[in-house]
A and B are shown apart, each in its own frame.
Chain A
Amino acid sequence: MSFRVCRTCGGADIDVDQARGSAVCTGCGSVLEDNIIVSEVQFVEGSGGVSSAVGQFVSADGPVKAPLLGSGFHTSVGKESRAQTLQSGKRQIQQLGSQLQLNQHCLDTAFNFFKMVVSKHLTRGRKTEHVIAACLYLVCRTEGTPHMLLDLSDLLQVNVYILGKTFLLLARELCINAPAIDPCLYIPRFAHMLEFGVKTHEVSMTALRLVQRMKRDWMHTGRRPSGLCGAALLVAARMHKFRRTVKDVISVVKVCQTTLRKRLTEFEDTPTSQLTIDEFMRVDLEQECDPPSFIAAQNKAKMQQLEQELARKLDEVEGEISCYKDEIETELEKSRPKLRGIYAAYTKEIDPEDVEVLSSTSEPEEREVEDAELQAATQHLTQDFLCQVIQEEEEEGRANKTGDGEQEVGPEKEGVGPQRQVAPLAVILGKLPSSLDLQQTFQTFSKSETCHKPDDEDSESGELDLEGIDDQEIEKYILNDNEVQVKTELWMKQNAEYLKEQQEKEERIRKEKEQGTYKEKKKKKSKRKEQIEALTAGEAIEKMLEKKKISSKINYDVLRDLNSRGTGSGGGSSPSRASSDPPDPNNTNTTTRKRLNRRRRKKTSEANQDLVTNASIMGKRFRRLISSTSKKKKTAPQVETSISMTTKPTETAAEPSPEPEPDVSSTLSAAPPPVEEEEEEEEVEEECVSALKLVGDYGCEAEEEDVF
């Protein structure tokens, strides 16, 4: 710090003491500065003699504005939402990461991922837990730590596939290409957990060799790496004379017994399994195997082939046998005495029938259908050609000629030709009433369209094309009456509970209707906010109340008079009843205009909305106020306005009007939000007598009570 020279002696030698915060001239000894700002760490003794440093932690990635001084709120008061999210995310990452024993570098990387995710709005609609788990797993994969997704799901008690889905999505969105999992990564971890003691390293190495062999034998693609590791470790343990059972291994590796057994059998099938232990350690077989699932598929195919061959052979044998059979029978017949006369005819008839009956019982039906389809196909082919011809005709000529042509073709095509370009058009035209105009329009219609005719026209006309549909077959799908009865009974029995519930519900509704307390519960409809178009707030309320008839105990005429008289009063704000008189809108306009002028802060739109919604509440208010249960005041301010209103009309109107009316008008005007009251109060203050001034805010309540 460069100081100027000393004031008294002019010496430039000034001693600055940081601890005391003072600057002293060494020449004359005068103190130049007393309270220099010190940048030292200070310590404070806390309870129990613990000394702690004074100061606050300001995080590097915290909010930009300075943290609060004074009583430091350590929670996020005054921080923005994004910072809060990041902070809580960081906390969760630390928590979860420490459970997984990840180092700080990994956790920081995970937090960076999380920041990226948040900035891309990928956390929306997802549980933060899942997102954080996915970020952590992403880090594990990029760093190559031996953590499985299963571990994370164990910690969080969440389904692995859900986490996997989130993880895949994040990896894709963040364009992070996680390297594929290598089973070799997991071996040291599992080996450690299996407690091999001193020989852990050796067992791991053997297991690694096994896994690499498995890889080359195509056992590892498409399989969970943990299963392979388990199998390898089991074999390695046995090789080194450790007795690890399948159960031990599966508890560590987290796979099922069946899986492990399967891997072992697959390994058994490879030629490597035939080697002895020493050979295995030394020699590496070059031959590679096919993936086990492929081998399984091949075996299946082989089995099928074998079966087919067997079947064929059987057929051949059968054929031979039947030949012999025929020969024998013919011989027998020759030797039999022949029938003569009438009976000869009978013998010939029976045989062929039997044969036919035996062999083709189901064929006729199929044949029929097949024939129908064939017919349809042939007809389609011929008529497609015809259609084209007709189309040309249509293009050339118009209504007269083609109308006839279409009519001719139409009936032919009905229900036969499949949907091609013009066929459906003709069909539809054939079915339609034969007004030429319609046909004309359809012609033009068909010309304007292109190949999408069939579908469009189907959708336009909605007609169901019946081609290729066998009605008889469809009849089978529908039950006849008896069957319907039986089914009805069965269904009723099955769904008895559901039906009961429905009945009870209906009964309840009926009862309520009778009682008159039936409220139609419209589940999905929200409060109906009618879109009332009005220029001002007052008008809006007027219109609203026109629609809503709130009470029969109100003399609307008097109200209207009130409104007409009450200029600048809150009565103006009170919407007139039923049919609003001409002067009233003017009044309301003027009053509201005045109000608008006076309005300082609040927006008119807000007020309008509030007016409308509050007007709906007014109905309830009315009854209460009228029935003199005024003590139940929902909001004091509204009550205030009621009072201010009572004062105004009584004075301006100068009527000893029946109490309900001013109350009514006052309650009407009570609708507006507090802001208006302020202005009303102002109005009151300006125009009316100093009742309010004298009494003050709470005094208004007392006045109201007097009024009632």
Chain B
Amino acid sequence: MDSSNDEALDIIVTNVVATFRTRCHLNLRTIALEGTNVIYKPEVGKVLMKLRKPMITASIWSSGKIICTGATSEDEAKLGARRLARCLQKLGFKVRFSAFKVVNVLAVCSMPFAVHLIDFTKNNRPIASYEPELHPAATYRIKNLKATIQVFSTGSLTVTGPNVQNVATAVEQVYPLLFECQKPLCK
């Protein structure tokens, strides 16, 4: 993370999205009526259930597939998912916890310097793209890591990737490139 730097860069994971299956059919109406903190959407066919302890929101489908969002770490996501499964078990469904997978991790990071986006884009032509008319940040996509980094002119980054390790690696990779096109801050 801090390969060519004295200070340490804080990568803060803000969101982890995970999916898992309960391997049994769920009756959404029962869940909707007997659970607290649930929102039932019959048109779409899913139930939104929000847990407080790990602050997560889960979308539950009747097929038994569940998507868990809002966790701040991979372990938390797993814990939340298990809690959710336990809750469903108590409601009376034969829930089995299977196929848990972390699908997406979103992290933010801040550089101690501002970045000159136009230079950055010029140096990294096909990989980076910057379209000020559409979005204020330059997008840098790393294919082998499957990670996307959005660089803002203030030096803050938003990184998305399939797991936390990839995200960290992505930041490490992009740091030297950003360092080249930096603009030292006055104050």
Contact = CB atoms under 8 A, between A and B. Distances in A.
Interface in A460-510: 461-466, 468-469, 471, 473-479, 484, 487-488, 491, 495, 498
A498 B42 contact: yes
A223 B132 contact: yes
> Considering residues B33, B95, B121, B125, which has the most beta carbons from chain A within 10 angstroms of its beta carbon?
B33
Contacts of B118: 180, 221
A474 B87 contact: yes
Given A291-B114, A479-B35, A225 B133 contact: yes
A291 B154 contact: yes
A221 B82 CA distance: 45
A313 to B, nearest CB: 25
Interface string B73-95: 00000010011011101110001
A442 B33 CA distance: 41
Interface residues of B, number: 51
B13 to A, nearest CB: 20
Interface string B100-113: 10000000000000
A161 B116 CA distance: 24
Interface of B: 23, 32-37, 40, 42-43, 51, 53, 79, 82-83, 85-87, 89-91, 95-100, 114, 116-118, 121-122, 125-126, 129-134, 136-137, 152-155, 183, 185-187
A312 B87 CA distance: 42
B97 A221 contact: no
Q: Do most interface residues of chain A lie in helix, strand or loop, or is the interface mixed?
A: helix
Candidate in B86, B116, B125 with the most chain A CB atoms within 10 angstroms:
B86
Nearest to B97: A464
Contact of B91 (A223, A225, A478): A478
A464 B24 CA distance: 13
A381 interface: no
A177 B155 CA distance: 24
A297 B34 contact: no
Contact of B187 (A298, A479, A487, A488): A298
A290 B85 contact: no
A218 to B, nearest CB: 7
Nearest to A458: B97
Contacts of A177: 125-126
A276 interface: no
Interface residues of A, number: 55
B153 A221 contact: yes
Contact of A464 (B96, B114, B183): B96
Contacts of B153: 218, 221-222, 291, 293-294
Contacts of A484: 33-34
Contacts of A171: 129
Nearest to A226: B133
A175 B126 contact: yes
Contacts of B37: 477
Contacts of A462: 23, 96-98
A477 B126 contact: no
A459 B19 CA distance: 13
Contacts of B183: 218
A181 B129 CA distance: 12
A225 B155 CA distance: 20
B129 A469 contact: no
Nearest to B136: A222
B121 A180 contact: yes
A475 B121 contact: no
Contacts of B155: 294
10 contacts: A177-B126, A222-B132, A222-B136, A222-B153, A294-B114, A462-B96, A464-B86, A464-B95, A464-B97, A474-B83
